[in-house]
Amino acid sequence: MTSTLARAQGTTTAARWPGSSLWSQIFILTQRSLAAVVRDPQIVLFGLLQPVVMLFLLTPVFANLGSAPHFPHGITYIDYLVPAILVDNAVQSSLQSGVGLVEDLKNGIVLRLRSLPIRPASMLFARSLSDLARGAVQVVVILLISLTVLGYSPDGGLTGMVGSVLVALMVGWAFGWVFLAFGTWLRRAEPMQNISFIALFPLMFASSAYVPVADLPTWLQILAKINPLTYAVDATRTIALGIGDTTALLPAILICGVITVGGIILAIVGFRRPL
């Protein structure tokens, strides 16, 4: 009788426990994801390879671009390039959000978490925030290399650099939700890597990242003007160079906002599907 009553009380208590708050769940799960990054720093190291290689490769190749007709007057190419590399790093790193989620789906972590009173959205937000923190570390490393080795010295000074970092992270967070959505619907890493190579790589070159849009061939100018990365790079560069015109910032914020909201909705809907 006593044991039956205890079991009944335990069942009632478990049924009534609503779980911790959403913010507590996000905080704890973010810590878990960051701990995985700390245990495996190769994730950060390999994520830095492409942007750093691009930085060292493109700087000497386009060093004489300052003489191009539409290149901004009085600006060195390294000052022109680094803001684009920050955006490139953020966008490329966003792929890891989806890949990490797929790994958690395969190794059973998500299945175990979903058996607990944890909101599905908290798992997705924790993944996105931990990847945002990892991206911030990578951006700081790229800035330090640019400042100490390549002579990066934008007119915007420290304030401009901090502002450009924040814009780059905003872009990376928005694209991270896109790949989280892909991860929840595709649930395989290979298609996402193919999409990244097919879409992100050309999008960076068909933008204002490496040369002014006006110096691109006509057909590339058309693509660049409808390319969201053009507006992201322009906003990052405008802030870094300390250009007073902030009109480039508004389109970047609006585009990132639309991408983020759309990505969140699609990711949550896809994540709720049966495993």
Helices (H) and strands (E) in the chain, counts: 12, 0
Q: What is the pLDDT of residue 5?
A: 45
Tell me the pLDDT band of 56, cut-offs 50, 70 and 90.
confident
The chain-wide mean pLDDT, for the chain, equals: 85
Q: What is the CA radius of gyration of the chain?
A: 22
User: How many other CB atoms sit within 10 Å of the CB of residue 247?
Assistant: 9
Strands (E), 121-229: none
Return d(Cα 86, Cα 84) in angstroms, integer.
5
User: How many other CB atoms sit within 10 Å of the CB of residue 1?
Assistant: 5
Q: What is the pLDDT of residue 2?
A: 46
CA dist 258 to 12, 158, 264, Å? 43, 29, 10
Q: What is the pLDDT of residue 67?
A: 63
Q: Residue 75, by phi and psi: left (phi above 0), alpha (psi -120 to 50) or beta?
A: beta
Q: What is the pLDDT of residue 66?
A: 58
What's CA 79's distance to the chain center, in Å?
22
Residue 112 near residue 13, CB atoms below 8 Å? no
Q: What is the pLDDT of residue 118?
A: 84
Cα angle 160-164-170, degrees, rounded to a multiple of 5: 150
Which of 185, 172, 152 lies closest to 229, judged by CA?
A: 172
Reported as a single tens digit per residue, the pLDDT across 2-22 is 455 445 454 454 455 566 888
244 CB-near residues (< 8 Å, 6+ apart): none
User: How many other CB atoms sit within 10 Å of the CB of residue 52?
Assistant: 18
Q: What is the pLDDT of residue 128?
A: 94
Q: What is the pLDDT of residue 65?
A: 61
Amino acid identity at 179: F
Percentage of residues in the chain having pLDDT higher than 90: 40
Return d(Cα 215, Cα 37) in angstroms, integer.
41
Structure tokens at 185: 């619907």
Q: What is the pLDDT of residue 83?
A: 94
Q: Residue 28, by phi and psi: left (phi above 0), alpha (psi -120 to 50) or beta?
A: alpha
Q: What is the pLDDT of residue 1?
A: 44
Q: What is the pLDDT of residue 119?
A: 87
Return d(Cα 107, Cα 252) in angstroms, integer.
37
What's CA 130's distance to the chain center, in Å?
10
Tell me the pLDDT band of 181, cut-offs 50, 70 and 90.
very high
Reported as a single tens digit per residue, the pLDDT across 183-197 is 999 988 888 878 877
Return d(Cα 118, Cα 212) in angstroms, integer.
48
Reported as a single tens digit per residue, the pLDDT across 132-157 is 998 898 888 899 999 999 889 999 89
Reported as a single tens digit per residue, the pLDDT across 217-269 is 999 999 999 999 999 999 999 999 988 667 888 999 999 999 999 999 999 99
Tell me which of 64-78, 88-102, 194-208 is least confident.
64-78
